[in-house]
Amino acid sequence: MKYQVTHITKYEYQLPASLCHNLVYQVPVNHSFQEVEKVNYQIHPVPHLVVTREDFFSNKFIYFSIEEFHQRLTVEIKSEVKISEPVWIGAAPQNTAPWENVVIWLKSTDAESDIRQFYLESDHVVFIQGIREYALKSFTPGRPIMEAMLDLNSRIFDDFDFTPGFTDVTTKLEEVFIHKKGVCQDFAHFSLACLRSIGLSARYVSGYIETLPPPGKPKLFGSDASHAWIALYIPDIGWTEFDATNNMLVNDRHIRTAIGRDFADVVPLKGVVYSGAGQRMYVNVDVRRVE
């Protein structure tokens, strides 16, 4: 599959801003099943400084600063990527190692540090009361790790309602667990908390997913959105990605932009702005197949 992704973010300030510094995590990178062919960006007003860098997790990001008065800010990132079928598609879940064996291996000196760093708590992934018990309903004794994860993925999909607007970036994981409501970001954090609470390594993945219109209806620009899912480390397969929002293994409709411990590491656009009043943000995302 080949896709063109357009991500447009607009800010409108109540009073002119005199200065802003921003980081943009919307740049896809090459990996085992994704090849980036093109990335272009437009920022208005034109920044005084723009640089592309790489962070600790090997994510690409854009840093820019605007050092003049402005009342609007627009950032448009347009990329083209080719997606192939991930290696885990078609893998036999029952042939993976028992999950307890993976926990023991992660605690040993044989496990690499860049894998082990993802089994700790983080800003948005905390071991709240009841989370371990929820996870262990899927991760029963001796169960193959991928089979258990597919079951956990399915249970989260069945137990939680996708409810845009119920949560925001400040909502605690406890609230998501109590009300069983949220969005993809919340379901990813909940999945990570389940897995890390029982000693497994799992990381947050941000990106996009192609959404298809109803039969006979045209696809509307901006009808897509940023998406989030998780990657669990499974020996002999590697980082294997699961999408609890859609109860599926990540496939050739998913486009990855960044990985981290949680959302805080890969916020699509964040920064500091000097202004005397509030602001409004508007986001349009479009994912289109390229023939």
Q: How far is CA 71 from CA 233, 270, 271, in A?
A: 45, 17, 16
Per-residue confidence in pLDDT tens, the chain, 291 aa? 899 999 999 999 999 999 999 999 999 989 889 999 999 999 999 999 999 999 999 999 999 999 999 999 999 999 999 999 999 998 899 999 999 999 999 998 788 889 999 999 999 999 999 999 999 999 999 999 999 999 999 999 999 999 988 998 889 999 999 999 999 999 999 999 999 999 999 999 999 998 877 677 776 655 578 899 999 999 999 999 999 999 999 999 999 999 999 999 999 999 999 987 788 999 999 999 997
Q: What's residue 196's pLDDT?
A: 98
C-alpha to C-alpha distance for 70 and 16, rounded to whole angstroms: 5
d(CA 273, CA 50): 16
Cβ(152)–Cβ(232) under 8 Å?
no
- In this predicted structure, what is the pLDDT of residue 222? 53
- Please report the pLDDT score of residue 133 as a whole number: 98
Question: Which domains are delineated in the chain?
Answer: 2-83+267-289 (2.60.40.2250), 87-260 (3.10.620.30)
Place of tokens 């390229």: 290
pLDDT, tens digit (0-9, with 9 covering 90-100), for 125-164:
999 999 999 999 999 999 999 999 999 999 999 999 999 8
Q: Determine the pLDDT at residue 134.
A: 98
Interatomic CA distance for residues 128 and 119, integer angstroms: 15
d(Cα 179, Cα 161) in Å, to the nearest integer?
9
Residue 291: the pLDDT is 75
- The reported pTM is 0.94
